[in-house]
Structure 1
Amino acid sequence: MAKAFSGGAGGDGSGGSRAVRGALTVLAVLTAVTVGSCTVQTDNLDDGARSPVRIEVSHPPADGKPAGTATPTPTTTPKRATPPPAPPPAVLWSRGDTGRDVRELQARLRQVAWLYDGPTGSYDDLTESAVKGFQGKRGLPVTGKTDTVTWQRLLRMTREPGQWELFLMGGQPAAYPDPRCLTGRVLCISKTSRTLRWMVDGQTVSTVAVRFGSQYTPTREGVFSVYWKSRHHVSTLYDSPMPYAMFFSGGQAVHFSTDFAARGYGGASHGCVNVRDETAVAAIFAEVSNGDKVVVYW
């Protein structure tokens, strides 16, 4: 009985070793089942030999996401830079400015009925008021200064003014004197530039803007002389005042005209040479003498 027991337990020891290994295998399987988070893999199971048991433990990720899932890198949307404020429109002309450009501004303001005087070429209080009215009507900042926005708006609403629109109230450059004006004391009158030069020995003493007769009552051209001066003259034919009259051809004279001062070249004389600057014509009247030459030319 003792021998049989010894042989059954392993005899030479091999049987006992197989029994121990089998028990360990069962224990490992039970452990895998109990733990639940581990798996047991066995290869080449047979009666003679078994491969080593490999146990792989899979730990759940700390963030709860499946293994192998990349965690996206948080991105920050850049803030859009605030653009700097637009610069105010540049001022082209304002009160006190003078010149040809101011004349054009005034002529265009006349076209849209915001200015009734001028053009004078001087940005005065009337021009400033006209610009303010134009700006306010169009919803622009009311400054009275002509900036680029105001000017562009006015350009779109008007046309290019003609030469006489620019010099409606005078101030145009005088034409070169006729050769007959270069000697002696002369009232040198150009129909082309609509100007009168008071000249002494070829030198211009003063220049004023003038207007002439209409198509039906034209001012005569040629060389004449002053034959009569009348400070407070009133026309017997038209019953109109002709102050500072200097007669040179029949009833035609150089004199101050309130109508020319008010309307500019929108009107015409009955043949006389009208002057709109009363102060200037008064000074010329004081210097001119009977017998002084008068030249009227194109």
Structure 2
Amino acid sequence: MKRTLSALLVCASLLVVAGPPAVAVAPSPAVAVAPSPAVAVMPPSAAYRLPDLVPGAPRAGRQTTGSRHIEYVPRSEAAHAGTRALRCSASTGPYQRQAERYLGRQVDGRQSTGDCRAIRRFQRAHRIAPATGFAGPVTGATVRLMRAKKDPNRAGRCPDLPQRTACVDLNRQLMWVQQSGRVLLEPVAIRSGAPTMETRTGSYRIYLRHRRHISNLYGTRMPYAQFFDRGEALHGVYEDIFSGPGSHGCVNLTMTDARRAWEVLRKGDTVHVWGRKPGV
């Protein structure tokens, strides 16, 4: 696939002479931020086209932290989410059926009072705000993550190798680490490349690790960077993992998950990437 020069500038320019050619990462904010109104982490269904969903506001009077995930909700609900007591959403979200199935509700794809209460409990347990019971893209991504924890490689897409292998599933936007059929790091949420800058698929080896890497092109921090293909790396980000359209090719992780991956993986370990990010 042909790419423009800007699309090839993925991740971070490396500060070494040997190894794959140097490339660069797009800057990320130094503090946690709310998702951009222009893009959702996963595309809504046909019934909820992108302009109809915007980042909701957390409950009034509470500070948004880096560990809280901001859900995309209908504009009519977002306008009130941060200014008055949260109400249970009467709207049917694009991931209603997935939430109903996971939570043991009747799977009819229609919001009910009972559905809303169950989804709200799930959102509160996983720090999704505003917890209105609307099954938006962030709630859907969290449901997929929880479902994958029991058997992440059920479909057999990641090779069962004797060496440690970071399995990067672009379809589900998940990553885990396994070795000889044993999961060493349970599935975690990722943010892969944005449209035209997709994370490259294939099997690679980690060739450089830098705990406190800084891009010399943008001067931005890439904590716990583990490079595996021409500058593409696994690394932590400071903003919400569900915000924005995606990276410039790197596999973004929360700071906690990036640190855990750093502790599990080593130079020379395998990174296997497959699939295609929804919406790209």
Higher helix share: 1
Which of the pair has more CA radius of gyration? Answer: 1
> How does the TM-score come out when normalised to structure 2?
0.49
The structure whose RCO (Cα within 8 Å, separation 6+) is larger is: 2
